[in-house]
Structure 1
Amino acid sequence: MKDINVFKRFLSDVKYVNELRQLQHINDSCSRQNRGTINKVKRRRARFHPMEQMNEIEFRKKYRYTKENMRRIIEIVRDDIEVDYYQSMKRNQVPIDLQILSAIRFFGGTEHPQLTAMAHGVSLHTMAKITRRVASVLSSKASRYIRMPATLSEKERMMRSFQSLSNMPQVIGALVQTTVRLQLEASRGQANKSCHSGTQSPMATEELVHLQLVSDAEHKIRDLDIRLSDELDLNTAPELFSLSRIKERFEQNEFRGRILLGNDSLSCSSSLFTPVQYPRNKSEELYNQAHAVTFAPAVKCLNIWFRRFGILGSELLGTFGSAKQTITALALLHNMAMDWNDPSVVKFTLSDAESNASFYKPIFLPSAHGLEEQRNRKEFIKSHFSGN
């Protein structure tokens, strides 16, 4: 009987040991799963908040704005940014303020786009989506921040600011033109057609986007026109002006008695005065000197704009529509910076800045072209510069 009891206790102990082994196996499995989860969490790139974790100097270098002015931009844009929530990973959605910060840092072109994406804990593909979204929202507000003066008092104030530079009257804006390179993506339909046909066709082509802007004397962009090369003829600069909305507004007498200034690549007209190509007397020389000084804010405006947003000097990627939204958004952001006297981009002299943006080379037209318009300029010179 005693041996039987011992044997029963042995069987009970064996059962107990087996149960312990099963429990240990379950615990080991759970631990491995937990370690895998922990490793995944560790591998997920931690996002930082530059407004809190960068000092003011470093922040200005990377984002081209002071922290205070960046907060203003975030408040202006925040409510209009759509948030994409992924069903399985809502908690990993990029916060709206970081979306705006990453887009503006990308626009600044201070580093390779991959580094900008990594710094904000997103992929390059997500970075591209964010920048398009932010540019779309900003460009929708363009009419509020990019506009010619509307009231009489605004027009008079702008004319006085130009006249104070070199005593040239009636000037309400200075017009300058340049180009931006665009890597134009093929449409989805063209890409699919190429795949099905088996042909090897390039997925993207490079285009030139032509920009025309009107600046005021305080280096703000007052009017912006954006067109692709195929919309223009070989005589690019005059054609761009002839198609622009600003020319149409002058022809409709919206700015009666006032003029724009342009450079030698443009044709002289009743609303757009260019330098005299071959000055023949003292009055024309004085006019050319005054024209150069009064036109200079447009050149400086363009260079400050290109310097603040480095992607303008490199290459945009996408469709023409997205490029147009991005360029418009950058003009809007530039005007905000000028309104707020943002010091992030150091002011520089005109001679130091001339290489930052490429202007149209002068295309001197035959003298027979626009004789009536040149007479208007002659009358202007006679009225305002003959007595100097």
Structure 2
Amino acid sequence: MDILEDLDVLRTFRNDIEEIRGFNSRRMRMIRRPKQYKKRMNPLQDLSESDFRQRYRFSKANMLKIIDILRNDLRVDRCGGSIPVELQVMSVIRYWGRHEIQEDCADIHGMSQQTLSYLSKKVGIALASKSSIYIQMPLSLRAQIFRLTIYNKNLNPYVDSHMLLEP
């Protein structure tokens, strides 16, 4: 009896080894398809001034100022298909300004929806960190009263909220 049990254990062990060998050879035959990066364009170079303004709600000069303000706070990942800071800022501003669907806006800029979502957070934090430099409340009492008058008149605090891009 012991010899027959030992033979069964040995056969089971041998079958397990053959199965493992077959698994490894099947796995080696599976070839991973190469990653395909989406085509990206540079809107600053490829679009006319009027087309750029229509799509991004800023002139090219003002967009370049915003990009320069945020350049030190945003970084370019060197692994994979890195996204330049210019494209990071422009894609997020277009997404915010036009209220586009993330997936559509990301496809237009040659990135995934998850990347655009991640960039929206990064650019939002970078902009918020600069708010104390570029957004200032009026210092004089007369200017404060004027601001409150506009606020009460329009009942909308966002009507007069444009900011200068120069400190």
What CA distance in whole angstroms lies between the structure 2 residues aligned with 1:60 and 1:110?
15
User: Quick one: distance in 1 between partners of 2:98 and 2:137?
Assistant: 29
2:148 aligned to which of 170, 174, 180: 174
Structure with the largest fraction of helix: 2
CA distance in 1, matches of 2:164, 2:117: 23
**TM score, norm. by length of structure 1:** 0.31
Match of 1:158 among 143, 151, 156: 143
Aligned counterparts of 1:58 and 1:157: Cα–Cα separation in 2: 40
Any residues of structure 2 matched to 1:262-273 within 5 Å, and which? 262=152
Matches within 5 A, 1:190-229: none
- Measure the CA separation in 2 of the matches of 1:302 and 1:157: 20
1:58-92 CA distance string (max 9 Å, x none) = 21121110011101111111111133333xx2xx2
SS of 2:163's partner is helix
Match of residue 58 from structure 1: 51
1:335 maps to 2:163: yes
Alignment of 1:306-325 (within 5 A): none
Asked whether the equivalents of residues 55 and 94 of structure 2 are also in contact (C-alpha less than 8 Å), the reply is yes
Matched with 2:63 is 70
Structure 1 counterpart of 2:84, one-letter code = P
Matched residues, percent identical? 30
- Where in structure 1 are there 5+ consecutive unaligned residues? 1-32, 160-170, 176-216, 218-260, 263-294, 305-330, 340-388
Give RMSD over aligned pairs: 2.9
Aligned to 1:44: 37
Letter in 1 for 2:148: A
Unmatched 5+ residue regions in structure 2? 1-30
Does the aligned pair in 2 maintain the 1:47–1:120 contact within 8 Å? yes
Q: Map 1:278-293 onto structure 2 (within 5 A).
A: none
Contact residue 74 and residue 85 of structure 2 kept, 8 A: yes
Call closer, same or farther: CA 1:336–1:131 in 2, change over 3 Å.
farther
4+ aligned runs moved over 4 Å, structure 1:
none
